[in-house]
Structure 1
């Protein structure tokens, strides 16, 4: 297994645009301070260290989720947590790269 598949960046079954077309919510898993320094408009900030405690809240959104961070590592971890909780999710990688795909 390559590093990209371990962090959820390879083998995407759907594109970012397909997720957005289904009304996806973007969750930025960086710290509050990092998020404050710049983020994707209308994204939600749920830092990685608390995302497990927010799973039920995220499920209630009833939307697919695209997670992002600075480089794709933390969002890869968040992607695994959310998918294992039954949430339709994809790793969008770094927020600036993701923003360019929107």
Structure 2
């Protein structure tokens, strides 16, 4: 660690350049992946601005569990349905497994009010938010019905 500080002192230009490049990298990466929305803010966006939730995971994953009110448009068919999605006047929130593929979908959509769910479905679940259509949800409904 002492050598790192020695390097900084002896080469301030190189260290400054490294810092600048790191900042630029994160700024460009953040823009490239689209605007993020937190799981806690999604409900507010849906309720106040009638945002549409588009789940780009494949149909099997969507059937296992998805956010209530979301539509399934698999990423593989997104290019074919891009005009349909651009025609939606309310904000659009793109959801994928971990929030990575949604960034590419937001870029492809090229719409001002398009967001990606931060952390995707994994982030949604880790925030304690419910999914509908899960096998666990179905089992709970059957159990309640049998009581």
TM superposition score category, shorter chain reference: 0.7 to 0.9
Q: Aligned residues, how many?
A: 97
Gaps of at least 5 residues in structure 2 are 1-24, 130-147
Gaps of at least 5 residues in structure 1 are none
Residues 5-24 of structure 1 mapped to structure 2, 5 A cutoff: 5=30, 6-8=32-34, 16-17=42-43, 19-20=45-46, 21-24=48-51
1:95 offset after TM fit, Å? 2.0
- Normalised to the residue count of structure 2, the TM-score between the two structures is 0.55
Higher strand share: 1
Q: Which runs of 4+ in 1 moved over 6 A?
A: none
CA distance in 1 between partners of 2:72 and 2:112 (Å)? 17
- Normalised to the residue count of structure 1, the TM-score between the two structures is 0.75
Q: Let me know the Cα RMSD of the aligned residues.
A: 2.6
Higher helix share: 2
Larger RCO (alpha carbons 8 Å, 6+ apart): 1
